[in-house]
Amino acid sequence: MKKILAFISVLAILITVPSWTVYQSHLEAGQTIKEAKCQLVQKRNNPYSTMDDSIYVIKYQHKLPSMNINGRNNGSYNNEEMGMPSLLTTKDTRLGEFIHQLRNVIFDDRRLVFIDGKILMCSKNWIRDHVHEMKAFKHWEYDNESFLNFIIETQSDEGFFYELIKQYDDYHWKMVNEDCFILYPDDNLTLVRLELEADVEYLVVEGAMQCYRVNGDKEWLKKILASLEKGIDYSTSSPKRWDAERGLVKRPFTIDTWDFTYNTDTNNRRIEDNTPMSIMHGDNSGVYQAMGYLSYFNRLLGNHKKAKEWDERAAELKRNMFKYLWNANYFIHQLHLNHNGADTLENVRLSLSNTYNMNRGVTNLEQSRAIIEEYIVRRETTESFAEWFSIDPPYQNGFSGHPPGKYVNGAISPFAAGELAKAAFNNGYEKYGWDIISRFIELMEHDKTIYFLYSPVDKTPQGGGPSAWGAAALMSAIDEGLAGIVDMDTGYKKISFSPRFVVTEYEELRYITGYEKTATLVDTRFIITDKGMRYDIISPATEIEAHILLPDNRQCNYLLVNSVKTPFKEVKIGDSRYLDVKVDSEELTTFEIIWED
């Protein structure tokens, strides 16, 4: 009850009076326009009140949250599914409970590290896992920055970032040379960079972007920007990291983004003269995205010349990716530089970073759809229970002691599933995206949790990493893909709103997201009827770019935005049809899409 009351209090604080148009025909006898506005605000701004939908064509049928509607159990006892993000429906609790369980798995990774007189909140004590999980926990976490700040503050003179904090007797620090670790004897802890890793610098930039979405702190950005740029400059210049001939980031020959080298002792995480080196597409898409973020940061801070330089560098990196790594359908796994690899299949090997590449913006619509089609085709031909491969085909003779189907040599990955689902939602394969989410709901209902990896044939859980990594990817796919709510500025002041609930079986629901740390609320409602469909969105946004998926068998006759007929554009993405409109937003913005008779 206390949580619900607190939630209502936050809602009351956030919402101010919008300037809706109230027509004379809407007035009750003897009522002034001012009185009508006040009444409307009171009723519509409180989602727990009885809603007066008299000015709307399409009416909501039920209030949410509730426990039972028409004899169906549609809500949990004590509303355990409520949080940021969360979902309530009038049909059942399955999707809402799935989000709740994902949140539990992610929260279970949260811990504190006490080092050098500092208290750090780490969602796992590896910055990689922390940043990958941040795409979910940023919605409820109150300390997104402390671990990231520590990693930035300890940046090496050369420009690289350290990545993990371990106990002294967990000997990761002995796997690298002296320049790749710092000892903290008073704390019995070590700060380590596994030298073979090529993703740390771009992940730190990604983490900064996620933090800025929440905190909106330009002064903080000013303090860290030079370090972020130094890190990407290091990735694109150091002989350890950069293949100058092809203009691409390189790494030792690993499976995708992993941290052990082929035919090398797993206790050796160094880069040495005889280390087999390769170019992996995911490192380069990550750096490409980071360059875009650095351009955004510079432009935000008035450094327009520097922003343009980052844009130009990103464009060149992208050209080189497609020149050397693209096979017309997807990115090949590895381009080997000083060795012949483990077999002759690298050009047909589909690795998990292909799913990330689409969501990092390196592929256009046609290229993204080609990658998604490859996954759909392999789903039909694979012997695995799902197409969410860590890598396919696996290395049949094993890779550093991992036989086919074990660990990242072919196990099935929830983080690949989440990223693939998000890409599917955003590239005209919305039903496929929902199918992925639905299959994972069934998997979680069976196992009562989510695991890091799964055996390809019998679904046996495999360890070896944080389950929260995959949980965060799935949650992000729901939040930014299915619900389609993307913060385009900071604090949701500008929103891209691309809801796709019409591909689900739900006919009426409420979806909530935002940032708990700053009491930022985005509260949406959806209903679809024989007359049309309606979305309401309560948010701090002053601008909403709506991109609303239409059902297959319906045509939009007209659009009402806040009860005003509004021009729109219908666009196609593949076979999917969207209604596009850009509006200056009020605290409550209502979209009613009315079908043709």
Q: Structure tokens of 193?
A: 């960079």
Position 96 in a domain: no
DSSP per-residue codes, 273-290: TT--EEEEHHHHHHHHHH
**Cβ neighbours, 10 Å, residue 5:** 9
80 lies in the same domain as 108: no
77 lies in the same domain as 138: no
**Cβ neighbours, 10 Å, residue 376:** 15
| CA dist., res. 100 & res. 443, Å (int) | 15
Distances (CA, A) of 169 to 129, 186, 189, 269, 308: 21, 14, 8, 17, 46
Q: Residue 9's pLDDT is what?
A: 38
53 lies in the same domain as 165: no
Position 492 in a domain: no
Domain stop point among 482, 513, 543: 482
**Cβ neighbours, 10 Å, residue 13:** 10
Spatial contact of 544 and 533, defined as CB atoms under 8 Å apart:
no
| CA dist., res. 438 & res. 506, Å (int) | 13
Q: Any idea of the CA torsion for 332, 337, 339, 345, to the nearest 10 degrees?
A: 10
Q: Residue 26's pLDDT is what?
A: 40
φ, ψ dihedrals at 148, nearest 5°: -60, -45
Position 526 in a domain: yes
Distances (CA, A) of 593 to 57, 436, 542, 566, 576: 9, 27, 21, 10, 16
Q: Residue 15's pLDDT is what?
A: 32
Position 340 in a domain: yes
Which secondary structure element, helix H or strand E, spans residue 122, and what is its range? Answer: strand 118-123
Position 198 in a domain: yes
Q: Residue 556's pLDDT is what?
A: 96
Position 156 in a domain: yes
Strands 164-167 and 334-336: unpaired
Q: Residue 11's pLDDT is what?
A: 37
Using DSSP, state whether 402 is helix, strand or coil.
strand
pLDDT digit string, tens, across residues 368-420? 999 999 999 999 999 999 999 999 999 999 999 999 999 999 999 999 999 99
Contacts of 576 (CB under 8 A, 6+ apart): 428, 430, 549, 550
3-state helix, strand, coil in the chain (%, to 5): 40, 20, 40
- Ordered strands of the 189-192 beta sheet: 164-167, 189-192, 181-184
Nearest to 162 by CA among 203, 132, 121: 203
Using DSSP, state whether 260 is helix, strand or coil.
coil
Nearest to 432 by CA among 491, 496, 486, 368: 368
| CA dist., res. 359 & res. 385, Å (int) | 24
**CA dihedral (283, 289, 290, 295) positive or negative:** positive
Nearest to 259 by CA among 163, 182, 166: 163
CA atoms within 13 A on the CB side of 404: 9
Distances (CA, A) of 108 to 101, 124, 587: 11, 9, 34
Alpha helices in 360-413 (DSSP H): 365-381
327 lies in the same domain as 472: yes
Using a 10 angstrom Cβ sphere, with 0-12 exposed, 13-18 middle and 19 or more buried, the burial of residue 68 is exposed
Which secondary structure element, helix H or strand E, spans residue 292, and what is its range? Answer: helix 281-300
Contacts of 125 (CB under 8 A, 6+ apart): 111, 113, 147, 164, 165, 166
298 lies in the same domain as 179: yes
**Cβ neighbours, 10 Å, residue 156:** 15
229 lies in the same domain as 308: yes
| CA dist., res. 545 & res. 569, Å (int) | 12
Strands 485-487 and 588-595: unpaired
Q: Residue 115's pLDDT is what?
A: 98
| CA dist., res. 536 & res. 352, Å (int) | 36
Spatial contact of 588 and 538, defined as CB atoms under 8 Å apart:
yes
pLDDT digit string, tens, across residues 201-220? 999 999 999 999 999 999 99
- The tally of domains found in the chain comes to 2
Q: Structure tokens of 437?
A: 């989410």
363 lies in the same domain as 438: yes
CA R_g for the chain? 25
Position 494 in a domain: no
Domain stop point among 413, 448, 482: 482
φ, ψ dihedrals at 482, nearest 5°: -70, -55
Spatial contact of 512 and 95, defined as CB atoms under 8 Å apart:
no
Residue at 151: amino acid letter: I
256 lies in the same domain as 323: yes
Residue at 133: amino acid letter: E
| CA dist., res. 414 & res. 397, Å (int) | 25
Which secondary structure element, helix H or strand E, spans residue 215, and what is its range? Answer: helix 200-215
280 lies in the same domain as 244: yes
Structural domain span for residue 124: 104-482
Domain stop point among 448, 482, 516: 482
DSSP per-residue codes, 497-538: E---GGGSS-SEEEEEEEETTTTEEEEEEEEE-SSEEEEEEE
Q: What is the CATH number of the domain that holds 141?
A: 1.50.10.10
- Ordered strands of the 520-528 beta sheet: 86-89, 508-515, 520-528, 532-538, 588-595, 556-561, 564-565
> DSSP character for 381?
H
Q: Residue 77's pLDDT is what?
A: 86
142 lies in the same domain as 227: yes
Contacts of 544 (CB under 8 A, 6+ apart): 494, 495, 496, 497, 537, 582, 583, 585, 589
Q: Residue 54's pLDDT is what?
A: 74
206 lies in the same domain as 58: no
317 lies in the same domain as 399: yes
Q: What is the pLDDT along the chain (597 residues), one digit of tens a residue?
A: 444 434 333 333 333 333 333 333 344 555 554 454 455 445 444 543 444 567 899 999 999 999 999 988 988 888 889 999 999 999 999 999 999 999 999 999 999 999 999 999 999 999 999 999 999 999 999 999 999 999 999 999 999 999 999 999 999 999 999 999 999 999 999 999 999 999 999 999 999 999 999 999 999 999 999 999 999 999 999 999 999 999 999 999 999 999 999 999 999 999 999 999 999 999 999 999 999 999 999 999 999 999 999 999 999 999 999 999 999 999 999 999 999 999 999 999 999 999 999 999 999 999 999 999 999 999 999 999 999 999 999 999 999 999 999 999 999 999 999 999 999 999 999 999 999 999 999 999 999 999 999 999 999 999 889 999 999 999 999 999 999 999 999 999 999 999 999 999 999 999 999 999 999 999 999 999 999 999 999 999 999 999 999 999 999 999 999 999 999 999 999 999 999 999 998 899 999 999 986
Position 341 in a domain: yes
